[in-house]
Amino acid sequence: MPSTHNTGIRRIGVLTSGGDAPGMNAAIRAVVRAAAFHGIEVEGIFQGYTGLIAGDFKRLNERSVARILGRGGTILKSSRCRDFMEPEGRTRAMEQLRRHGVDALITIGGDGTFTGAHKLSEEHGLPVMGIPGSIDNDIFGTDHTIGFDTATNTVVDAVDKIRDTATSHNRLFFVEVMGRSSGFIALKAGIAAGAIAIILPEDEMSVDELIETLKASEESGKSSSIVIVAEGTRGGGAYALARQVTEKYSEYETRVSVLGHLQRGGAPSCYDRVIASRMGVSAVEGLIQGRKDCMIGIINDRETYTPLEDAISRDHLPNRDELRIARILSI
């Protein structure tokens, strides 16, 4: 039986926005089922903020979200919406929410999504709650964003395969992973796949230092190596770095592999399904308790609400000690 005291919310809107991430469907399912459990209706909003402005709404119930827990992508679809960045766009969105009788909004996405949600809340007083869904893991207020675990596992699987061919041909591979301004995927996958070097936007190793590392390992008998490069580093990612290295050091035959959007697809891992389920339920219950303009996260295995303003403005940075460990292990 529902035990949480409802402060008056009768209908919630839910949308996914920005880059999709495995586990977003699990979060949608959790939002819809938790709402139903507490006697609240849910409007699914399609295409993120684009659909919010256009009024692309559809009522969802507990059965509408059957068999989506293990599916990648987002059944609500997603977009990056320029109009919502302007006050006029947000006013039109608010009109749609009123027209559909929506009392509160849950947005699943990353920092761009939360910036829009925070403005909507400030300008129109709408209770909003963010759920962090992004493969990049670059959101303050949660240890892990939904999708990060699945994406890193995908990267590790791909790099293990690249290693087979790198070893067979004695080659040096530069593997580019996603993370425009965040090195979480590069760092975790780099450690798990045994990269010789990991190039992060937050801590870019110099070309000379990288060459020294490659030379030392080659002298100690390594015949092939893998460098993991986060996109956005070196002003051009893996291709730019490979060029800079080979201009000065040509001991290895070199190849570049850009993993790209395959990192965003696939069935969510167990971990992502669980955190998405937990966050989805707590997002609904937080709204019921009267929380607003905040994001649900999980820190040290406990559900935590962080003001959206902090989630947007404060940094979540990779653990530098993991970088040190990666360097020790790459000799």
Catalytic residues: 136
The vertex-97 CA angle with 95 and 100, nearest 5°, equals 110
- Is there binding between residue 108 and ligand F6P (CB under 6 A)? no
Min dist. Cβ of residue 260 to ligand F6P (A): 9
Phi, psi dihedrals of residue 183, rounded to the nearest 5°: -105, 15
How many residues sit close enough to ligand F6P to count as binding (CB under 6 A)?
A: 10
- Is there binding between residue 72 and ligand F6P (CB under 6 A)? no
Question: Binding string, 137-176, against ligand F6P, x = CB under 6 A?
Answer: ----------------------------------------
The residue range among 67-75, 96-104, 128-136, 299-307 that interacts with ligand F6P, by the rule CB under 6 A, is: 128-136
Instruction: Pick from 13, 19, 141, 237 the residue near ligand F6P by CB under 6 A.
Output: 19
- Is there binding between residue 178 and ligand F6P (CB under 6 A)? yes
Between strands 294-299 and 302-307, the pairing is antiparallel
Nearer to ligand F6P, 57 or 184 (CB): 184
- Is there binding between residue 312 and ligand F6P (CB under 6 A)? no
User: Could you give the CA distance from residue 224 to residue 164 in angstroms, rounded to a whole number?
Assistant: 10
DSSP, collapsed to helix, strand or coil, labels residue 246 as helix
Min dist. Cβ of residue 151 to ligand F6P (A): 8
- Is there binding between residue 264 and ligand F6P (CB under 6 A)? yes
- Is there binding between residue 135 and ligand F6P (CB under 6 A)? yes
- Is there binding between residue 134 and ligand F6P (CB under 6 A)? yes
- Is there binding between residue 180 and ligand F6P (CB under 6 A)? yes
Q: Could you tell me which of 224, 150, 222 has the C-alpha nearest to residue 189?
A: 150
User: Could you give the CA distance from residue 48 to residue 51 in angstroms, rounded to a whole number?
Assistant: 6
CA distances for 146 relative to 205, 248, 281, 300, 321, angstroms: 28, 40, 14, 15, 23
Min dist. Cβ of residue 179 to ligand F6P (A): 5
Q: What is the DSSP letter of 103?
A: -
CA distances for 101 relative to 105, 121, 170, angstroms: 11, 16, 63
Min dist. Cβ of residue 228 to ligand F6P (A): 14
- Is there binding between residue 58 and ligand F6P (CB under 6 A)? no
- Which residue, judged by CB position, is nearest to ligand F6P in the bound state? 19
Nearer to ligand F6P, 102 or 311 (CB): 311
Size of the chain, expressed as the number of residues it contains: 331
User: Could you give the CA distance from residue 116 to residue 47 in angstroms, rounded to a whole number?
Assistant: 14
- Is there binding between residue 126 and ligand F6P (CB under 6 A)? no
Q: Tokens for 58?
A: 């559809």
User: Could you give the CA distance from residue 204 to residue 261 in angstroms, rounded to a whole number?
Assistant: 23
Q: Could you tell me which of 190, 331, 166, 159 has the C-alpha nearest to residue 253?
A: 166
Helix-helix angle 148-169:184-192, to 10 degrees: 50
Instruction: Pick from 22, 116, 179, 297 the residue near ligand F6P by CB under 6 A.
Output: 179
The vertex-67 CA angle with 11 and 154, nearest 5°, equals 110
Q: Tokens for 263?
A: 């990192």
- Is there binding between residue 22 and ligand F6P (CB under 6 A)? no
Nearer to ligand F6P, 64 or 79 (CB): 79
Instruction: Pick from 136, 149, 202, 285 the residue near ligand F6P by CB under 6 A.
Output: 136
Min dist. Cβ of residue 4 to ligand F6P (A): 32
Q: Which spans of this chain sit near ligand F6P (rule: CB under 6 A)?
A: 18-19, 134-136, 178-180, 231, 264
